[in-house]
Amino acid sequence: MKSLLIFSLTAMAATALAQENVQKQTETINLPTIQVLSDKQEEVLKTPGAITVVNKENLRETRPVSAQDAVKKTAGANVIEAEGIAYIGMRGLSPDGSRKVLLLEDGAPLALGPYIDSSAYYAPIIERMERIDIRKGSSSLAFGPSTIGGVINFITKNPTKDHGNAVTLTGGSRDYKELLIEGSSVRNDSGLLVNLFAKDGNGSRDNTHFNTRDVLLKYGGALSDKSYVGIKLSHYKSEAELTYLGLTQKLYDQDAYQNPAENDVLYITRYEMDLTYDYQIDGRSRFSTLFYVNQTMRDWWRQDFSKNASGDITMAGTNKGRNRTFDVAGIDTRYFLNWNAGEISNDLQVGLRLHTEDMRNVEVKGATATARSGVIDVDDKRYADAQALYAENTLNFEKWTITPGVRVESYRQSRMIYRKSSADFNQGSENRNTEYLGGLGTTYQLAAQQYVFAGIHQGFSPPRVQDAIDNNGQAVDLDAERSVNVELGYRSASDNLHLEAALFQLDFSNQLIQATESGGAATGLTNGGKTLHQGLELAVRYIPEIHRSMFIDLNATYMPVAKFNSTRIIGGADREGNRLPYAPEYMVNTAVGYKRQDWLASLQYSFVSEQYADAENTVEGSVDGMRGVLPSYGLFHLTGEYQATQDLTLELSGRNLADTTYISSRAPQGIFPGMRRTFYVGLRSAF
């Protein structure tokens, strides 16, 4: 019924689009939204913390194949590749499920359950985006939860006249096929956008076929000269042969791209609606409100298996379905005021967010390897609701800005287990917590478009409900995850050089170390104790004065410290001082490109130094493939574009040109290779 509603609305929108197309104006309608970063460069330069803006031109120059691939080029970001799932870690934080980073789309949360389980099993398609705003250490007060590693806001395209209508056909390696239909119209003070997307193909490993469909509808505009409204409807459906089962060392050495789990399938269906409203009270104050609601069905059927001591995997004739339904709703209201205290200009932000969510978890034992029904083994329901209030005030002096802020976040988590081990159980519990966070940021203008910034902010991240309340329905003694994030940096922008350099430190009084299946090694979450992350990030974009058509990009991270900073007994030994898992010391992304009016070419290189897969810092690869070093690797990529006519464009991209075989992850259950050499060719027709 919901799918029919979405597609009916899309059909009506397409009809309206055709009728309005002849009357549309020349402008773009920017629908109201909750912003992570301003869209004004001068305000972005004055942000008191490290940031990255991936704009429309950056996306065109690199042609990322996924949302996580687009983020991968950000200084500080460590990304694990997985089709349709975002595994993003920042500044040495675990990339497992992107749990330490808040992912948003147009200001609304993307996680299936931000307080129940913030794992990013869903990632939006990059083809519907026009920009990505990334804010790191200074983001923990205006947004939440789970912002210790920062906030990533994917911004969808807005209605526009210029080449707003287009059809793009793309083909690629391993039977890849993609269709993107974009329709856009602007009429007077309102605009309409329709995006229809479909892709089908096979991943780098055997038995990794995927099929994705996505529909996006946006409409809105001015109600009056002071009020603006927008609505966004979206439907996503994916069927992908994804598995938790990686390779043992023996199997990886035989064939890195084999996959014995030929019957594992992940089904995701998602519906979402956002309503936005902006009201300009006067020239100095305004309200902005976002109401969001979404439902996600995530069914994952995985075949049972066993491993032996020599590294063989035997697939069983049974499976298990881990099937979950998430319902999320919330309202986020913000008030902005420019006011004066004597001769000091102030910019005040006050925000209130009310949020609720629940998740039904049903685990089913299947009698065959391909079963889609069976005996209910586990049945439980998880709830969370949260109230958050924040306030920030920026004092603007001649060259200085000083921004103190505070956030109060109160949340309740509960779990009721109706069935476990195939028998009725009916036990549950709940936890209530309130967190008080503070922060201070500042900038100093050295010269025109040159700023020094610094900040110190507290961050926290709630545990998942399944970790806070165990499988017996009992509350677990699991401390909140808390950190103090410090930054010091420099930022400048000119016609030919954009530069940002930042020193950062994340000092955790307690970091929850992921030990879930997807985190590898064991099960459950555990208190990791004190941890310390220290490093340097550098982001440069240079356009040579003598060659304005050329561009050079560099994003680099050096993180000498990412360690357990207190007593940590694992395997009978104290691991204090050990390096944290999945925290490479060096990461580099570079691009050299050339752009003319009708063509573009860009060569990119990315490097990731070696990483440990476990807290013990095991060097040799274990038989099961789950422990051992992930060796360093470097990859070359290529992007090209040729505009044959004003309305016809040929697109080309190649990933991993040298066909380097490398280990992307040893979690959840063994070795996962990175993407092998892949080519894409597309044809875009605008009208």
- pLDDT above 90 (res 520): no
673: CATH:
2.40.170.20
pLDDT in tens, 3-28: 434 434 444 444 344 344 433 344 78
What is the per-residue pLDDT across 647-676, written as a single tens digit (0 to 9) for each? Answer: 999 999 999 999 999 999 998 899 999 999
At residue 337, does pLDDT exceed 50? yes
Question: Which of the pair, 416 or 510, is modelled with greater confidence?
Answer: 416
Number of domains in the chain: 1
Comparing 471 with 516, the larger pLDDT belongs to 471
Is 191 a residue whose pLDDT tops 60? yes
Please tell me the predicted confidence (pLDDT) of residue 83.
Answer: 60
Indicate whether 523 pLDDT > 60: no
pLDDT band at 188 (very low <50, low <70, confident <90, very high): confident
pLDDT tens for residues 366-383?
A: 999 999 999 999 999 999
At residue 525, the pLDDT reads: 56
> How large is the average pLDDT for residues 211-238?
96
| Burial class (CB within 10 angstroms; exposed 0-12, middle 13-18, buried 19+) of 4 | exposed
- Dist CA 56 CA 64 (whole Å): 12
pLDDT-derived band at 285, boundaries 50, 70, 90: very high
Q: Which residue has the higher pLDDT, 526 or 122?
A: 122
> Percentage of the chain with pLDDT > 70?
92
Per-residue confidence (pLDDT) for residue 15, from 0 to 100? 39
pLDDT of residue 140: 72
Full residue range of the structural domain in which residue 329 is found: 2-686
605 and 639 in contact (C-beta within 8 Å)?
no
Q: Which residues contact 57 (CB under 8 A, 6 or more apart)?
A: none
Residue 315 has pLDDT above 50, yes or no: yes
Alpha-carbon distance of 159 to 306, in angstroms, equals 52
Residue 524 structure tokens: 């459950």
The more confident residue out of 242 and 522 is 242
Q: Identify which has the larger pLDDT, 3 or 297.
A: 297
* Chain segment 409-460, per-residue pLDDT in tens: 999 999 999 999 989 999 999 989 999 999 999 999 999 999 999 999 998 8
Is the pLDDT score of 517 beyond 70?
A: no
**Tens digits of residue pLDDT in 583-621:** 999 999 999 999 998 999 999 999 999 999 998 999 999
Tell whether the model's pLDDT for residue 488 goes beyond 80: yes
Please report the DSSP string for 209-252 in residue order.
Answer: EEEEEEEEEEEEEESSSSEEEEEEEEEEEEEE---SB-B-HHHH
Given pLDDT bands bounded at 50, 70 and 90, which one contains residue 526? low
CB 542 within 8 A of CB 129: no
pLDDT band at 118 (very low <50, low <70, confident <90, very high): confident
CA dihedral 73, 77, 81, 87 (to 10 degrees): -140
d(CA 249, CA 307): 12
* Residue 21 in tokens: 């197309």
Q: What is the pLDDT of residue 680?
A: 98
Side-chain half-sphere CA neighbours of 613 within 13 A: 29
Distance CA 174, CA 679 (A): 9
266-273 mean pLDDT: 98
pLDDT band at 480 (very low <50, low <70, confident <90, very high): low
Distance CA 290, CA 107 (A): 8
Q: What is the DSSP string of 569-637?
A: EETTEE-TTPBPTT--SEEEEEEEEEE-SSEEEEEEEEEE--EESSTT---SPPTTSSSSEE--EEEEE
Q: What pLDDT is stored for residue 17 in this prediction? A: 44
Q: What is the pLDDT of residue 513?
A: 62
In the chain, what is the straight-line distance between the N-terminal and C-terminal CA atoms, in Å? 33
Give every CB contact of residue 477 below 8 A, 6+ residues apart in sequence: none
Residue 476 has pLDDT above 90, yes or no: no
Residue 498 has pLDDT above 80, yes or no: yes
Q: Which two tokens stand for residue 522?
A: 């064991």
Long-range pairs for 655-658: beta carbons < 8 A, 24 or more residues apart: 655/65, 655/679
Mean pLDDT of the residues in the chain = 90
Q: Which residue has the higher pLDDT, 394 or 474?
A: 394
- pLDDT higher at 73 or 183: 183
